[in-house]
Amino acid sequence: MGNIQTSYILAANSKAMELIKISTEALTESNCYDFMVFRFSDWEEILKDLEAWEDFVPINESTYNILHTNLCIKLREFIKYL
């Protein structure tokens, strides 16, 4: 049985991509929540999901965890006002 390698992707629209190019902190400290992070072991699993986004970049596990947590916090705040 082979080793399964986990990969991490940040998918986002232009504003979030501009911010992540500056730094992870620039994105997490902004009010931008127009991004998604994916953890996967097979590209086929996420290809359809990636179609919804303008761009995507590979990230490491640490960045995945930071952005996932940040997105959860931002969406919780957004949902409180619905």
Q: Based on DSSP, count helices (H) and strands (E) in the chain, helices before strands.
A: 4, 3
Tens digit of each residue's pLDDT (9 = 90 or more) over 21-77: 999 999 999 999 999 999 999 988 899 999 999 999 999 999 999 999 999 999 888
Q: How far apart are the C-alpha atoms of 60 and 54, rounded to whole Å?
A: 20
| pTM, full prediction | 0.88
